[in-house]
A = this chain, B = another copy of it.
C-alpha cells in the first residue's frame, strides 16, 4: 500500500487523510481490545489500566504527577485509585521529604496484573510490527510523536532520552 502518495506529500488528498483518520480509529480499538477484555472480567476499566500502567512506569510517582500525565481531575483519578488500593493492587505511601505527598507503587498483585495487561498489548504491537516490517516501525513512531500535543511531545521526548 501507500506508494503513490508517499513520494510527494503535497499530493495527499483529503480522501487519503480520511482513510488515515479511520485507520487511527480502528487501530486504537484493536490496541485496547485485549486489555479491555481482561479488565472487564475484573470489573475494572481503561481508567484502571492507565493508572496501573503509569505507576508501573514510574514507581513512587505522586498523585499530582499522575494527574498531569493522565489529564483528568483528581476526583476522577481518586475514584480509580481508591479501588486499586482497596483491592491491594496499589500501595500509597506518605512522602518522606514532603509528607503531604503520596507516593504510589504497585504491589506484587498489581505488578502481576500489569504484566498480564501489557503482555497482551505488547503481543499485538509486536505482531503488527512484525507484519508491517522493520522499515514501517520507525515511521509509525515518528508520525505518532508528531500527532501529540506539543507540550506532551516534549515530555515524551524527555522520557525517551532518559532511558536510553
Contact = CB atoms under 8 A, between A and B. Distances in A.
Contacts of A136: 138-140, 142-143
Interface stretch (A60-68, A92-100, A144-152): A144-152
Main secondary structure of the interface of A (DSSP, over half): helix
Interface stretch (A23-31, A74-82, A83-91, A104-112): A23-31
Contacts of A146: 127-129, 131-132
A5 B160 CA distance: 14
B142 A1 contact: yes
Given A12-B126, A24-B28, A7 B131 contact: no
B2 A147 contact: no
A118 B21 contact: yes
Interface string A28-56: 11110100000000000000001001000
Contacts of A3: 138
A129 B7 CA distance: 12
Interface of A: 1-3, 5-9, 12, 14-15, 17-31, 33, 50, 53, 57, 71, 118, 121-122, 124-149, 152-153, 156, 159-160, 163
Contacts of A127: 146
Most buried by B among A12, A30, A146: A146
B132 A71 contact: no
Contact of A23 (B6, B144, B163): B144
A137 to B, nearest CB: 5
A148 B127 CA distance: 11
Which 5 A-B pairs rank lowest in CB-CB distance, beginning with the nearest? A139-B139, A136-B139, A2-B138, A128-B146, A140-B143
